[in-house]
Chains A and B, each alone.
Chain A
Amino acid sequence: MRILWALTVGQTLAILLLTWTLLTRVREPAPVSAKPTMAGTAVTAPVVRPLPADCPDAEQLRAIIAEELQAHADGEAGAAEAAPRSHAPPPDPAQLARVEEEIDRHIQAGAISQVDMMRLQAGIARLDPAGRKRMLSKLIKAMNTGRLEGRL
């Protein structure tokens, strides 16, 4: 998506630059004298038409580009704020210890009910990614080795 935006902005800038260059050339009239060509025929100079009154000059074009770029930057910042937060909770040793104690308690009991399993999983969800992986592995490993009877 960023690449697409970058290409769009680049294309817009290129078009504006080309327009500006053309306008500048038009304002600098070429010598009207005809030049002989190799074939001996004369090439007529381009017809210079006066610019319309509402045509922006170079300074105005720069201002427009700056304004567009600013609007684009603001839009990206807004989109980033609106996007859901992707980072997980930070490590919390106390929460990790609580979850681990709960798993150990169920292992000691030898079984875990469906309700307790859901409660436990909700607690695991509040851990940081490393903690989640560790606790889910501990839980499932206990089930796989027959130390804990229960279903996910």
Chain B
Amino acid sequence: MRRKLFLALGLMVVLLSSSALAGWTQPFPVSVDLEEKFAAGDMATARYANGSLAFIGCGIRSFDDGEGGNFSFGFCQAGDAAGVTAACFTEDPDMLKVMAATSDFSFIFFGWAGEGDDATCTRVGRSTQSFYLPKGMKANKGTPVDDD
């Protein structure tokens, strides 16, 4: 009986200490709302969701327009676990900056107009924070200082 109690206590200590070391996490699974014309989610949760179709991301394309100039546009797209997808595009310089700033572990949200055949983005956001990082990444260690 006493042995089982010690084992249980030991297990609790291990679990609590590991969760404390892991830091705060706030996974945001991809959500696509076609009614509200809005999608959001974080990249790590989407990428490592087992057996899921989820994805989310933004990108920028730039093409030669055939007249000596360029045409650039940005886009965001997402798909939830059930496979419902959404995307939007923009030429707005401010939105392009947000899209260009997405990184590996960003949280992303975007909305689109959706009136008639309009699929232009009406809002775009992203944030990159520790609580969106996936499990299994190693903590930073202090750089060893050479005494010489």
Contact = CB atoms under 8 A, between A and B. Distances in A.
Contact-size category for A: 20 to 34
Contact of B69 (A88, A136, A137): A88
Interface in B51-82: 59, 61, 63-71, 73, 75, 77
A89 B69 CA distance: 9
The contact size tier of chain B is: 20 to 34
A134 B116 CA distance: 11
B118 to A, nearest CB: 5
A152 B67 contact: no
B88 interface: yes
B117 A126 contact: no
A151 interface: yes
A14 B111 CA distance: 54
Interface string A124-148: 1110000011101111110110100
Interface in B102-123: 112, 114, 117-120
A136 B119 contact: yes
